[in-house]
Amino acid sequence: MNDGDCIFCKIVAGELPAERVDEDGHTIAFMDINPWTRGHALVIPREHSRNLYEVGEDDLGHVAVASKRLARRMRDRFGCHGVNLLNSCEPAAWQTVFHFHVHVIPRFRDDPLRLPGSPLKAEAAELAAVAAELRD
Ligand code: AMP
Ligand code: ZN
C-alpha cells in the first residue's frame, strides 16, 4: 500500500522527478536533492512504510542488498575512500521524510563531514544495567 501524501511514494510512482540510479523489483535508489557529499543517494523500498519500526523484514533485506550494490558502485565509479550508511527513525533521530530510506553517502578522505557528537564515558555498572534492560 502506498501513501498518497508521501513524496517518496510519488517518486516510486513517477509522479515526482528524481535522478534514479538503481532499481530492482523491491527497491529504487536516487540522488538526494541536498547531498552531504558528492554522490549521496537514498535507497527506498517501493512499498510504503514509515520507518525502521514499521518496515517489513523482506523490504529491509532488499534495501540492505541494494545499498551494498550501490556502495560498491560508488567505490568503483567515484573512487571514494569509504561509504556511510545512515538511517534515521523518528524526528528525535533526525528523520524528516516518513518513508523508510537508507542514505548511502560516499566518503572522501578530505570531505567536510564530521561526527555530530562524541562518545560518552560509561561505568561498567551502568553498561551492565543498560544491557540488562535490553536483554530478552
Ligand atoms: P531524513 O532526514 O533521514 O528523513 O532524510 C530525508 C532526505 O531526503 C534528506 O536528505 C533530503 O535531502 C532528501 N529529500 C527530500 N526530498 C527529496 C526529493 N524530492 N528527492 C530527493 N531527495 C529528497
Ligand atoms: Zn511512501
129 lines ligand 1 (CB under 6 A): no
Span from the CA of 96 to the centroid of ligand 2 (angstroms): 12
For position 1, what pLDDT does the model report? 57
Please indicate whether residue 2 or residue 26 has the higher confidence score (pLDDT).
26
Q: Is residue 1 part of a domain?
A: no
Determine which residue's CA is closest to atom 6 belonging to ligand 1. 97
Beta strands 41-45; 20-23: pairing state: unpaired
81 is catalytic: no
CATH (domain of 128) = 3.30.428.10
Residue 2: inside a domain: no
On whether residue 107 sits in a domain, the answer given is yes
Residue 74 Cα to ligand 2 middle (Å): 25
Q: Is the pLDDT of residue 72 over 90?
A: yes
Q: Residue 76: its pLDDT value, please?
A: 98
Q: How many structural domains is the chain composed of?
A: 1
Whether 18 is covered by a domain: the verdict is yes
Q: Is residue 118 part of a domain?
A: yes
Residue 12 lies in a domain: yes
Within-domain flag for 98: yes
Distance of CA 90 to the CA centre of its chain: 13
Q: Is the pLDDT assigned to residue 50 strictly greater than 90?
A: yes
Q: Residue 37: count other Cβ atoms within 10 Å of its Cβ.
A: 18
Q: Which structural domain, as residue segments, surrounds residue 113?
A: 7-134
Mind listing the pLDDT tens digit for each residue in 83-129?
999 999 999 999 999 999 999 999 999 999 999 899 999 999 999 99
| % the chain with pLDDT above 90 | 96
